[in-house]
Amino acid sequence: MVITHQEAQSFRVQFGNTIIAYNPVSKDSKFKSGSFGADIVLVSSNHPDFNGVEQVSRGDKAPFVVTGPGEYEVGGVFIRGFLSKTSYGGKELINTIYLVSLENMNLCFLGALSSPQWLSDETKEALDGIDILFVPISTEGTLSPAEAYKLSVKLEPKIIIPMGYDGGVGSGHLKTFLKEGGGENSVPIDKLTVKKKDLEGREGDIVVLLGAN
């Protein structure tokens, strides 16, 4: 599995010939939108920063798009969406948390979650055995860096990928998050290539991914 960061909360996950796009940036966003083809698209909130499905569609082939809670299966990928909320952009919106199972690994994407209080006990119980956690760390309508790290520890992932911070790797939010997790010396990387066996012995390791744009 290869994970790359595009911009904002936009990620590209490839395994074999299948590509998953998380929260692709639309052309109406203040962020730079990237363009690539995806087989599966997951949108956590109906906001221009996250709903650019058109940016990851390829030719006449329409991707399988998920925009809300529920259970889905496509091409051997199992997806569960859990209802939460966000105040991203100053307006309360539905935020869907996604748990994706593939290649014997579980990827949890918190989207634009604004508060740990909007993560129900039922959802917390369902988010078990997380291998890779994508967590927002901006104070602007999502979890603060301190809240994000505290929640990450409770969810017990093998790897934590912070997202949704302005300013790139020099962001104050990122620096604060890394300090909370004791990862001040973390070196940002272009991509994360990982197999299940690579996760053995890892407990909450923070991985910072550079943006592609």
Section 91-107 average pLDDT: 95
How many Cα neighbours within 13 Å face the side chain of 58?
12
Could you tell me what percentage of the chain is helix, strand and coil, using 3-state DSSP and rounding each to the nearest 5?
Answer: 20, 35, 45
Backbone angles phi, psi at 72, to 5 degrees: -140, 155
pLDDT one-digit tens code per residue, 21-37: 999 999 998 888 778 89
Give dist(CA 132, CA 122) in Å, integer. 20
| pLDDT greater than 90 at residue 168 | no
- Domains of the chain as residue ranges with CATH: 2-206 (3.60.15.10)
Do residues 7 and 64 lie in contact, with contact meaning Cβ atoms separated by under 8 Å?
no
Give dist(CA 83, CA 149) in Å, integer. 21
| pLDDT greater than 80 at residue 170 | no
Do residues 42 and 200 lie in contact, with contact meaning Cβ atoms separated by under 8 Å?
no
Average pLDDT, the chain: 92
Cα–Cα distances (Å) from 8 to 54, 167, 197, in that order, read: 17, 10, 29
